Chains A and B, each alone.
Chain A
């Protein structure tokens, strides 16, 4: 993969890139399909019920059937919706979700773009999704959608700040924004131990960025009946769902890379297990955490959510940067 990246562009390796992207997309769709299946299954078990078990053996084809249903469903649009924006919103939400995956190093060699500013790329692109959400809320011409859209705008912008700040500590320790180098710098100790403050802030802020429980206010179904995507049906709705789960994949990968040593084994003695397995296990544990939280947590109120971001998470993240900076300066003899 890395050799491929170094080559001069030609028609031949462009085809390879295209094929690799398609393979990644297929893997991703497979992940989303079974993330949804296991989400329903795991939460079902946690809630003393069985979960989907009708379509296919053990219900394994349930999500396939659901997606098929969404695809053949009538594409409805409210009469007074803003046509162009209404059509644009799902694409705006989905495209960056897939684009961010380019910089993720799944193993030392398996990576699509080895950018020097990998972290910035991820954060900048994922910030675009909120535009899709606001656009959807506005274009639907529905009051519930509008409130949902504005809520998520406020929420995602507020939580992006502590999210970025919490990563600064990791960047300071590594001295690089390249995601591959960040992983390689964790050979001796995974970052979540020295960066436990940053890790905690990241975990909470990521939850809000993903719009997942307990911070699922934008789509709070008991208040807003579904929030910004209440008017969307069929495939357009599927795009929003897809974006949400792809982000879960992306955020899981980020947590793995930034704090849990990416593809590195838990102990050097276990390095006979391929790196991609380690990566997958860590990522899936994060995804499982999402299910667990969803089955457990109630939802805070909007204003509590905001004040939590600005009054708790941000100061903690700043404190983390300060401590990290002081310790690093001390170690390198600058103080």
Chain B
């Protein structure tokens, strides 16, 4: 940790002669608005933040190192525990990396199941974000509405793979379970419901004067800063850069669907709020098309050797998670375990800009800015 922050200055006002002093405030690791075990040391002058240093690692489990002693299939459940709000995308990125190395063919039905699972998970993840963000800003009810609707998605996942959060659903070469009978219809029902419900979300929050005043122009940065800090996902798109890997480097079967990438040029918290809700809308659009095209029968596991040994060499794949670009780098020596594995975690990368954004802001804006980055501590600490 940077020791420089630990010195606080005191100044004597030239007008009044009153001595004021800066104060160090520890926000977290147990604080309701850090969304997990994240700690922020801030130096404040009154309620203005002078300097902020994020301290993390409270949830570090050494996933990457542990993976070196695990077979590829065994790594999958570990990825569930990284971004636990969107475990499906994490499942996918490791499977996708190994499949790319081995050049495996994925059956059509498995592709669709993967895509539906990932998009449902994106909707669920954004809903958690929406609810908790409003909770941070002092509004209680949106949280419960969001969790009520997310419950439907979790129930769907429960039927699909028997878990509500740590799914462990995907396998190298396909998915573990086929959709149970009637599942696709239930998803279709949910998508139709959610499209209507989204209007309620907007009606409840989006136009609220207090809410707009809290977010407009807060946590602002421009395109260059976004690129310098290698931000991705909504953080990047809020500055006007249209970059979504589902569109620009299509993986899975995303090239078959018609959807937009919402962008904004404001670069503030408000634009990020709008983008996330717009992304839910687009995900629902993708889901609608995917459900219509869903093959009525077929295998869900491709032809995969019994022991998975990717050829020696390196590979890096990246996909669009709800939080941004999640990447997986694998260095293989042709064994059944990776020689080195590395995840590029969007939460971690996006978090780097936090000290810069907090400088000179009010403490109340701290929760608004931190919330708008949308971090998951399991992924930050990995």
Chain A interface residues (CB < 8 Å from chain B): 43, 46-49, 143-144, 147, 151, 213-214, 216-217, 220-223, 225, 294-304
Further 5 A-B residue pairs, CB within 8 A, beyond A298-B211, A299-B214: A47-B140, A220-B138, A222-B137, A296-B141, A302-B364
B148 touches A48 (CB 8 A): yes
B353 an interface residue at 8 Å Cβ cutoff?
A: no
Q: Shortest 4 CB-CB distances between A and B: which pairs?
A: A299-B138, A298-B139, A47-B144, A298-B137
A40 CB, min distance to chain B CBs, angstroms:
12
A223 touches B210 (CB 8 A): no
Kindly identify which residue among B140, B213, B214, B364 contacts A220, using a CB–CB cutoff of 8 Å: B364
What residues of B have a CB within 8 angstroms of the CB of A302 in the complex? Answer: 47, 362, 364
B33 an interface residue at 8 Å Cβ cutoff?
A: yes
Residue of A nearest to B23 (CB): A143
Known: A49-B144, A303-B362. A221 touches B32 (CB 8 A): yes
Chain B interface residues (CB < 8 Å from chain A): 23, 25, 31-33, 47, 134-141, 144-145, 148, 205, 208, 210-211, 213-214, 362-367
A315 CB, min distance to chain B CBs, angstroms:
18
B139 touches A223 (CB 8 A): no
A54 CB, min distance to chain B CBs, angstroms:
19
B219 CB, min distance to chain A CBs, angstroms:
13
B140 touches A223 (CB 8 A): no
Known: A48-B148, A223-B33. A295 touches B140 (CB 8 A): yes
What are some 28 contacts across the A-B interface (CB < 8 A)? Answer: A43-B141, A47-B140, A47-B144, A144-B25, A147-B47, A213-B138, A217-B364, A220-B138, A221-B32, A222-B33, A222-B135, A222-B138, A222-B367, A223-B366, A223-B367, A225-B31, A294-B140, A297-B138, A298-B138, A298-B208, A298-B211, A299-B138, A299-B214, A299-B364, A300-B213, A301-B362, A304-B213, A304-B214
When chains A and B are docked, how far (Å) is the Cα of A214 from the Cα of B366? 18
- Which of B140, B364, B366, B367 has most chain A Cβ within 10 Å? B364
When chains A and B are docked, how far (Å) is the Cα of A298 from the Cα of B139? 4
When chains A and B are docked, how far (Å) is the Cα of A128 from the Cα of B213? 32
Residue of B nearest to A143 (CB): B25
When chains A and B are docked, how far (Å) is the Cα of A295 from the Cα of B25? 30
What residues of A have a CB within 8 angstroms of the CB of B208 in the complex? Answer: 297-298
Known: A213-B138, A222-B136, A222-B138. A300 touches B214 (CB 8 A): yes
B137 touches A299 (CB 8 A): yes
When chains A and B are docked, how far (Å) is the Cα of A278 from the Cα of B13? 56
A36 CB, min distance to chain B CBs, angstroms:
16
What residues of A have a CB within 8 angstroms of the CB of B32 in the complex? Answer: 221-222, 225
B151 CB, min distance to chain A CBs, angstroms:
11
When chains A and B are docked, how far (Å) is the Cα of A302 from the Cα of B367? 13
A298 touches B366 (CB 8 A): no
When chains A and B are docked, how far (Å) is the Cα of A334 from the Cα of B363? 53
When chains A and B are docked, how far (Å) is the Cα of A225 from the Cα of B326? 33
When chains A and B are docked, how far (Å) is the Cα of A301 from the Cα of B211? 10
Residue of B nearest to A300 (CB): B210
B108 CB, min distance to chain A CBs, angstroms:
39
B372 CB, min distance to chain A CBs, angstroms:
14
B144 touches A48 (CB 8 A): yes
What residues of A have a CB within 8 angstroms of the CB of B141 in the complex? Answer: 43, 46-47, 295-296
A297 touches B210 (CB 8 A): yes
When chains A and B are docked, how far (Å) is the Cα of A216 from the Cα of B32? 16
What residues of B have a CB within 8 angstroms of the CB of A220 in the complex? Answer: 138, 364
